[in-house]
Amino acid sequence: MNCIVIDDEPLAREKIRLLVAQDVSLQLLGCFPAADKAADFMELNPVDLVFLDVQMPGGSGLDFARQLPPEVLVIFTSAYAEYALNSYDVNAIDYLVKPVHPARFAQAVQKAMDFADLKRHRKQQQQQTAALHKDHVFVRADRRLHRVVFSDCRYIEGIKDYSVLHLSDRKLMVGVNLKALLEQLPQDIFVRISKSVVVNFRHVSSLNHQDVRIGEAELLIGNAYREYLFSFFVEHHVVGR
């Protein structure tokens, strides 16, 4: 998680910097003595979490937090506990009272990580729900947008940052990696069978523990995907046992 520190007190900034350095889940991008300098930095750099002092010359941390995009998380740091209640008005993750104890810092960071994971999970659920209510997706290839109906897509091969869609009557190479493309597809139809292949199970003619056959294509199953693949297949596609 990328983070920055904003505090007008040099010793306070250094204290938070040292705590951040001890947490492997955090990547410190910068420390700033004022909110305006941090704002300039954030226009050009992606920041996930801000450790923000409440009282600073030239503008309060509370006012700055109100201007941040909703996806940026905030943990306030202050020598004054009485501002803690106000922090809830800007949906702060936590409020740390100086001097910040390492255990309390770790607790606040964990809350931020848990909240970020929850938001990520909700976004994935929303994307999957949206995919279930449509039968196609548009992809960009050959300088055009192509409408790809899910039922026409037999399987997909990933090649570095590109994906090759094997359709019933043609192939399309799109500038999207396999993971990102799979997130846009209905998860009850498309499943990953290896690091570089996703198949549409409605086109599978046969399979064993080594490969999946779709038409004339024999697609090898990756060792890391085999157990999940067969549990998925039995759950969604097998009648009887």
**Six token digits for residue 160:** 């570095």
pLDDT tier at 42 (50, 70, 90 boundaries)?
Answer: very high
Domain boundary among 73, 107, 129: 129
Confidence band for 188, pLDDT divided at 50, 70 and 90: confident
Per-residue pLDDT band at 107 (split at 50, 70, 90): very high
Q: Give the chain's mean pLDDT.
A: 88
Is residue 53 within 8 A of residue 64, CB to CB? The reply is: no
Q: Which two tokens stand for residue 117?
A: 């994971």
Residue 240 has pLDDT above 60, yes or no: no
Closest CA to 5 of 35, 38, 33, 31: 31
Looking at the fold, whether 71 and 167 belong to one and the same domain comes out as: no
In angstroms, the Cα distances linking 113 to 1, 3, 74, 102, 234 are 8, 12, 12, 16, 35
CA 54, chain centre distance (Å): 29
User: Within this chain, do residues 184 and 224 fall inside the same structural domain, yes or no?
Assistant: yes
For the chain, the domain total comes to: 2
* Predicted confidence (pLDDT) at residue 226 exceeds the cutoff of 90: no
**For residue 46, what is the domain's CATH number?**
3.40.50.2300
* Residues 140, 158 within the same domain: yes
204: nearest Cα among 177, 175, 236: 236
E strand intervals along 60-131: 73-78, 94-97
The pLDDT tens digits for 73-93 are: 999 998 877 766 666 667 789
Enclosing domain of residue 217:
136-237
Q: Which two tokens stand for residue 69?
A: 């995009």
- 162 and 95 in one domain? no
On whether both 95 and 203 belong to a single domain, the answer is no
State the pLDDT at residue 32: 95
Same domain, 10 and 118: yes
pLDDT in tens, 114-132: 999 888 887 777 666 665 5
Cβ-based neighbour number of residue 74 at 10 Å = 23
Assess whether 115 and 169 both reside in one domain: no
Using the Cα atoms of residue 52, residue 55, residue 59 and residue 61 in order, give the sign of their dihedral. positive
